[in-house]
Chain A
Amino acid sequence: DGGITQSPKYLFRKEGQNVTLSCEQNLNHDAMYWYRQDPGQGLRLIYYSQIVNDFQKGDIAEGYSVSREKKESFPLTVTSAQKNPTAFYLCASTIQGADTEAFFGQGTRLTVV
């Protein structure tokens, strides 16, 4: 059953702690993306990766980090430097490049307590 999976669905973090969100795909897609979704602000691009071992900052990369050691995995770490981390995070992937349909994971809702 092919798809893109994010885990966990809900995540709680204490202020000052780093936390890593998982994103795995078995679609054999080359490109992967992370977005943050806040009410009224749409989907904002955090980081994207077109190929293994390479990634670029999106529009709101400050306070986040990523890695792309394997084609199927693109974890996002929310660091303590992110001032307002409470949000809904969506991971997506495309076959190659950005001019094709993006497939989204089901999202992770992160709450800082």
Chain B
Amino acid sequence: GENVEQHPSTLSVQEGDSAVIKCTYSDSASNYFPWYKQELGKRPQLIIDIRSNVGEKKDQRIAVTLNKTAKHFSLHITETQPEDSAVYFCGSSGTYKYIFGTGTRLKVLA
């Protein structure tokens, strides 16, 4: 069946450095790729998304890139801050099914 693989499972970076999280999807019909941030004890919230007809999207310190041929997409966070510490999930969806990766726990060290 369809699945999304996400790496790494944990990531520690120094404050101010960049963080990159990568995902690979299996369903060729997928056309929407969101990224969610989940802080401890809170619900996941969308931070950025990209559709299959776009290769890159940026929103301030956050960017997502998509390589549809290789079926992978990545989240890039620049100039990381302590408040970026959280669990990040990538998602993949086609017409109806909405599935997520296994999550990356990001720790930004002050």
User: Taking beta carbons and an 8 Å cutoff, which residues of A are in contact with B?
Assistant: 31, 33, 35, 40-45, 48, 50, 56, 58-59, 90, 92, 94, 97-102, 104-107
A to B CB contacts below 8 Å, 28 in the list:
A33-B98, A40-B9, A41-B102, A42-B6, A42-B101, A43-B89, A43-B99, A43-B100, A45-B97, A45-B99, A45-B100, A48-B96, A50-B96, A56-B96, A56-B97, A90-B43, A90-B44, A97-B96, A98-B93, A98-B97, A99-B31, A99-B32, A99-B51, A99-B93, A102-B46, A104-B45, A105-B43, A106-B43
Given contacts A40-B9, A42-B100, A45-B99, contact A101 B43 (CB under 8 A): no
Sort chain B's interface into a size bin: 20 to 34
A59:B95 contact, CB within 8 angstroms: no
B77 to chain A, nearest CB (A): 19
Taken together as a complex, chains A and B put the C-alpha atoms of A104 and B45 apart, in Å, by 7
Taken together as a complex, chains A and B put the C-alpha atoms of A78 and B95 apart, in Å, by 27
Partner among A43, A48, A101, A104 whose Cβ is within 8 Å of the Cβ of B97: A48
Count the A-B residue pairs with Cβ separation under 8 angstroms: how many? 67
Considering the complex, give the chain B residue whose CB is closest to the CB of A38: B102
Partner among B42, B45, B96, B102 whose Cβ is within 8 Å of the Cβ of A42: B102
B69-110 contacts to A, CB under 8 A, are 89, 91, 93-103
B8-53 contacts to A, CB under 8 A, are 9, 31-32, 34, 36, 42-46, 49, 51
Identify which of B32, B97, B102 gathers the most chain A CB atoms within 10 Å of its CB: B97
Taken together as a complex, chains A and B put the C-alpha atoms of A40 and B104 apart, in Å, by 9
